[in-house]
């Protein structure tokens, strides 16, 4: 199966499920082929990104994994980052050699007024150069996507989170189609779409496969894979963590299903992969997020930089 994808073929959902069901030493063969596919399709360089929360907390949505939801009792304090804070964060990202910088806002939907408020920040970051400015601003329509494109945003993040069938068990305040429509609006506006999900929310192996296949059907450009970091006060606070090898096996499956797309490992990797973080690239990942996340801290950025230097993938 590895050589089939390496030579330009594809696998179906049943093949992908088979990969997730591998046991023992067969998983190391899987990682070997996932790495070969990555190198063949994307080359050895690893891309990086950092984010800042432009608006935190008081979110109207009930995503069961999220500490920012107003539906749950968590320690997250609501706040809005100033223009100066966001610009300074972008400059730090540039100093750290990060490729992409993302502005993330809580809430279901971006308003036209929100875009007006963010416009000076986006324009300043674009004018300074040396980094690509990305948006993760909730559901948007085609017109809003076009406006963001005009401001200079070329990449937009909007995760599907999980499979269509499992989604209602994770979110009830909006639909799967709401998310898919945003993905389509972003692509129609000419931006690249970064869309993936979270592993470890109680979904089945089939749900993980279905997510990967849906992302392939949507022809997304980058697939962020997050691993649930259970937060006290959320409904998923007691979820069983994903083991390191299971996490790597999941990354490899995504590489087989989406051989020529960037696969970015983001939230939860520190707790999930632990001492095996560098293995994510040998399991097929081609990108990673560095620095802190939205409501949790990431690994020290110098440690990640040293890891990439040691791997000679910068």
pLDDT the model gives residue 212: 98
**193 token code pair:** 């779409």
Coil vs helix vs strand at 198? strand
> Is the pLDDT confidence value at 112 over 90?
no
Give how many domains the chain has, as a whole number.
Answer: 1
Distance between CA atoms of 16 and 257, rounded to whole angstroms? Answer: 7
Residue holding tokens 């930089």?
Answer: 305
> Is the pLDDT confidence value at 129 over 80?
no
pLDDT the model gives residue 111: 86
CB atoms under 10 Å from CB of 122, counted, come to: 21
What pLDDT digit, counting tens, does each position of 115-126 carry?
Answer: 899 999 998 998
pLDDT the model gives residue 309: 95
pLDDT the model gives residue 120: 92
Closest C-alpha to 234, from 78, 63, 79: 63
Residues sharing a CB contact under 8 Å with residue 123, sequence separation 6 or more, in sequence order: 151, 152
Q: pLDDT band for 314, please (50, 70, 90 cuts).
A: confident
Three-class secondary structure assignment of 121-152: HHHHHHHHCCCEEEEECCECCHHHHHHHHHHC
Q: End-to-end distance of the chain based on CA atoms, in angstroms?
A: 29
Range of the domain at 144: 2-311
What is the CATH number for 191?
3.20.20.70
Beta strands 155-157 and 192-194 are: parallel
CB atoms under 10 Å from CB of 101, counted, come to: 24
pLDDT the model gives residue 97: 92
Q: How far is CA 131 from each of CA 73, 88, 102, rounded to the nearest angstrom?
A: 36, 13, 10
**For residue 252, what are the β-bridge partners?**
none
Q: How far is CA 284 from each of CA 161, 212, 289, rounded to the nearest angstrom?
A: 20, 14, 15
Distance between CA atoms of 104 and 114, rounded to whole angstroms? Answer: 12
Backbone angles phi, psi at 203, to 5 degrees: -70, 160
What pLDDT digit, counting tens, does each position of 159-171 carry?
Answer: 999 999 999 999 9
pLDDT the model gives residue 126: 84
């Amino acid at each position: 199966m590895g050589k089939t994808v390496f030579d330009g073929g594809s696998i179906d959902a049943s093949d992908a499920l088979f990969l997730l069901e591998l046991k023992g030493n067969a998983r190391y063969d899987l990682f070997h082929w996932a790495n070969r596919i990555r190198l063949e399709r994307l080359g050895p360089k690893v891309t990086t990104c950092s984010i800042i929360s432009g608006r935190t907390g008081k979110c109207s949505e009930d995503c069961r994994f999220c500490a920012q939801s107003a539906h749950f009792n968590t320690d997250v304090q609501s706040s809005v980052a100033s223009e100066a804070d966001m610009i300074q964060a972008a400059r730090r990202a540039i100093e750290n050699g990060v490729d992409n910088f993302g502005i993330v806002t809580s809430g279901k939907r971006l308003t036209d007024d929100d875009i007006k408020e963010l416009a000076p920040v986006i324009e300043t970051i674009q004018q300074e150069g040396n980094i690509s400015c990305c948006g993760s601003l909730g559901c948007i329509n085609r017109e809003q996507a076009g406006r963001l494109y005009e401001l200079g945003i070329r990449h937009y993040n909007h995760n599907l989170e999980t499979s269509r069938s499992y989604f209602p068990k994770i979110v009830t305040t909006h639909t799967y189609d709401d998310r898919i429509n945003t993905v389509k609006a972003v692509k129609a506006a000419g931006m690249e779409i970064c869309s993936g999900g979270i592993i470890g929310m109680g979904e089945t192996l089939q749900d993980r496969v279905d997510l990967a296949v849906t992302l392939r059907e949507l022809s997304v450009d980058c697939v962020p894979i997050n691993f649930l970091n259970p937060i006290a006060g959320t409904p998923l606070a007691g979820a069983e963590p994903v083991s390191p090898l299971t996490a790597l096996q999941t990354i490899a499956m995504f590489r087989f299903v989406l051989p020529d797309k960037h696969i970015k490992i983001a939230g939860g990797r520190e707790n999930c992969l632990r001492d095996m973080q560098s293995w994510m690239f040998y399991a097929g990942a081609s990108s990673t997020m560095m620095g802190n996340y939205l409501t949790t801290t990431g690994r020290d950025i110098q440690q990640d930089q040293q890891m990439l230097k040691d791997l000679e993938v910068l």
